[in-house]
Amino acid sequence: MADLDALLADFADESAELERLVAPLDAEGWRLPTPAPGWTIAHQVGHLAWTDEVATRSATDPDGFARMLTEAAPRVATFVDEGAEEAAAAPPAELLRRWRDGRTALVAALRAVPEGAKVPWFGPPMRPGSMITARLMETWAHGQDVADALGVAREPTHRLRAVAHIGARTRDFAYTVHGRTPPAAEFRIELTAPDGALWSWGPADAEQRITAPALDFCLLVTQRRHPDDLAVRVVGADAAEWLTIAQAFAGPSGAGRAAGQFG
């Protein structure tokens, strides 16, 4: 993966691209439903704003972050959704300003983390590069929900590499979430980048193989499209099984999207 400065720049660019979609919307536009059940565009942006703020707290106040986790433990199933719901209730201009200020603070906080240190999170602690990669992935994924709500097709960029990287690295996590044992052998994943380059993970001679356009793979691992609607090709039964459970995001698996939902 790229260095921290490059990842922070990509995060800023991905966020700015999404902001260009939502900033012109009126109040009614912010209330448009997205493919995520029960979530409007305001919920999507509110979730991003809330999570960026929590990530900033983890980097600047780890003890406060630990207290927050303890207090939230009784509401573990609803904690994240509550944050999105509260943020979505704000006037659009206020929510937009909160999201903008929050991601600026996050970039500054991660730059200030001492070299080699990790920051706490809901799962294992992460280095700043991994944290901002996860935030970039989420911004892209929730941005896809917004784009779908608006009927907008986004241009794929090199930033998909960060999304794909998390998708590849969370293979075993997806099995664990579903109570299954991950395959012992690694998979080979080969993706065609937007500029035609080859991105790859895993041993070149692996028997289990996945090949796809980078965009399709990213839509798969963020569960923004059904596998049947994507140009993802597999070799091997284990790889085929993984396509049905892959997820790049933390937490329980979602319902995903229905086959043919987007035409």
Q: CA 179, CA 173: separation in Å to the nearest integer? A: 10
- pLDDT given at position 255: 78
Domain ranges of the chain: 4-150, 160-243
Residues 134, 247 contacting (CB under 8 angstroms): no
Identify the helix (H) or strand (E) that includes residue 34: none
99-116: b (≥16 Cβ within 10 Å) or e = bbebbebbbebbeebeee
Tens-digit pLDDT profile for residues 82-105: 889 999 999 999 999 999 999 999
β-pairing, 188-192 vs 233-235, is: unpaired
When the pLDDT of each residue in the chain is averaged and rounded to a whole number, the result is 94
Tens-digit pLDDT profile for residues 193-227: 999 999 999 999 999 999 999 999 999 999 999 99
Confidence of residue 234 (pLDDT cuts 50, 70, 90): very high
Q: 4-150 has which CATH code?
A: 1.20.120.450
Q: What are the Cα distances from residue 106, in Å, to 49, 117, 119, 121?
A: 10, 16, 12, 14
SS3 percent helix, strand, coil of the chain, rounded to 5, is: 55, 10, 35
Identify the helix (H) or strand (E) that includes residue 200: strand 198-201
Tens-digit pLDDT profile for residues 126-181: 999 999 999 999 999 999 999 999 999 999 999 999 999 999 999 999 999 889 99
- Looking at the DSSP bridge assignments, the partners of residue 119 are 126
